[in-house]
Homo-oligomer: A and B are copies of this chain.
Amino acid sequence: MHSNKFDNLRESLGAYLDVQTTLSVLGWDQEVHMPPKGAARRGRQLATLSGIAHRMLTNPEVGKAIAELEDDDTLSHDARALLKEARYEYDRATKLPEAFVTKLAEEQSKAYEVWVQARRMNDFHLFQPNLETIVELLRQKADYYGYEDTPYDALLSDYERGMTTARLREIFSGLREKQSALVERIVASGNAPECAWMDQEWDETKLWEITMRALTEMGFDFDAGRQDKSVHPFTTNFGLKDVRVTTRFEPRDPFSALTGSLHEGGHALYEQGYLESDERTFLADAPSLGIHESQSRLWENLVGRSRPFWKRYGPVYREAFPEQLKGVSDDDLFRAINRVAPSLIRVEADECTYNLHVILRFEIEVAIIEGDLSVTEVPEAWNAKMKDLLGLEVPSDDKGCLQDIHWSHASMGYFPTYALGNLYAAHLGEKIREELTDLDAQIESGDFTPLLAWLREHIHHIGRRKLAQDIIEEATGPEATAEPFMRYLNSKYGEIYGL
């Protein structure tokens, strides 16, 4: 039973989510279409709308309605679930003063524009003052939220509810050792795939068509979404029926557009897969970024970097690029897209080194936020860690600490969720292979319906009714650890590199 009071609360929060999704439209447009001189005014629009959204959510009437409804025993199960999330959002939002939220949105918009320029001009010093402001604001944010152990815990909670810095240090120290050891064995094997043929021209129009084909086969609904190009691939939604992905083209790279689309497509299938009855509520959302990332990594890696996938897409690639791929087999393509080599750019990193990129950023972020590292020292620290973790010299900041969009979006505590995504995906992968025994044949024939149905049932439809860790545990059995991921890596790369 829904009380009138509940319907009113639901409508108030729906209107709040209309403003939030409108902010997403402004953000999408900013990165995909906005002309450069439009940035200043866009910053004002984002700031104004953020302030409005904040006022709507923190309206004392909302708090009063939540408190009253919490005493109402007649509410349905779904209504209770929504009320719980309303409580969570309200409590978090009321901790941040409106002036602070407006200020953060303004500085974020400025920082983004400067970051784009700084990256283009390869000049960290251009971005440094903006990053300093962002860090200062993030420390304030942590103070407003409150924390027990470290301010980084508070920032983390924006992205991975229930996760702590201490737990991450634990998981990451284990991962670091095991992944490093595997990478060492791979490099020592001398069995690197032949990839010289990759260094050719790859027509963007043809690559684009392949990405559109892959998205369609995965089950992305183009009547409820679209794909565009942007500097950094991302997914956003303005509702369940308007989910937008972007991808990008890297020169002389036949794979980056496709892996970008598979990755963002994985996110998008999640967002197109929430329950329609949850539209315009907090429940049509993921409980954490880590579980969101499990969906993108599952499609990008467990599907898109699998041998059966390349039995299907090998012929597609050779038809699009007959000249460039003369004599390149499905297996050559499979091995090339799975080549392991320490590299500078996170989004292009292979599965074996990817988490090392995350660990690098995690350590820098914690040090900045805890005051052990100044923003001025970031490039130096970055470059030292890149040497330490991946054995690489960073030639310039655009390939180093300027490569990622996140800090310009005032996001710290976000990167660890990428590694958690890999771990969750590996958990899901083991269970899915148990239940869908024909998975390889399905992938090879382009029939992703059973896989998508499994994800819809066990992940997508749940929305925010449960925490990430609980969803993974209930879907797969054991508590999430690094073990399945290491089993996956060791098995796959042991075979490829003949270890």
Which residues of A line the B interface, CB within 8 A? 14-15, 18-19, 21-22, 25-26, 29, 33-38, 40-42, 44-45, 47-49, 51-52, 221-226, 228, 238-242, 279-280
Contacts and interface: CB of A to CB of B under 8 A. Distances in A.
A226 B48 contact: no
Given A45-B238, A238-B41, A238-B45, A26 B35 contact: no
A241 B29 CA distance: 14
Closest 10 CB pairs of A and B: A38-B242, A41-B239, A18-B48, A37-B241, A37-B224, A18-B45, A15-B48, A37-B223, A38-B241, A22-B45
B36 A223 contact: yes
Contact of A40 (B19, B25, B34, B241): B241
Given A18-B49, A25-B29, A44-B18, A239 B35 contact: no
B19 A241 contact: no
Given A25-B25, A238-B41, A48 B35 contact: no
Nearest to A38: B242
Contacts of A15: 48, 51
Contacts of A19: 48-49, 52
A208 to B, nearest CB: 15
A41 B21 contact: yes
Contacts of A35: 222-226, 241-242
B26 A241 contact: no
Contacts of A280: 41, 44
B41 A279 contact: yes
26 contacts: A15-B48, A15-B51, A18-B47, A19-B49, A19-B52, A21-B41, A21-B45, A22-B45, A25-B25, A25-B26, A25-B29, A33-B226, A33-B228, A34-B242, A35-B222, A35-B226, A35-B241, A37-B224, A37-B241, A38-B238, A38-B241, A40-B241, A41-B240, A41-B242, A41-B279, A42-B238
Given A35-B241, A41-B241, A41-B279, 11 more contacts: A15-B48, A18-B45, A18-B49, A25-B25, A29-B29, A38-B242, A41-B239, A41-B242, A42-B238, A44-B280, A45-B238
A372 to B, nearest CB: 39
Contacts of A44: 14, 18, 280
A392 to B, nearest CB: 36
A78 B138 CA distance: 40
A47 B14 CA distance: 12
A40 B280 CA distance: 11
Nearest to A40: B241
Contacts of A14: 44
Contacts of A21: 41, 45
Contact of A224 (B38, B221, B226, B241): B38
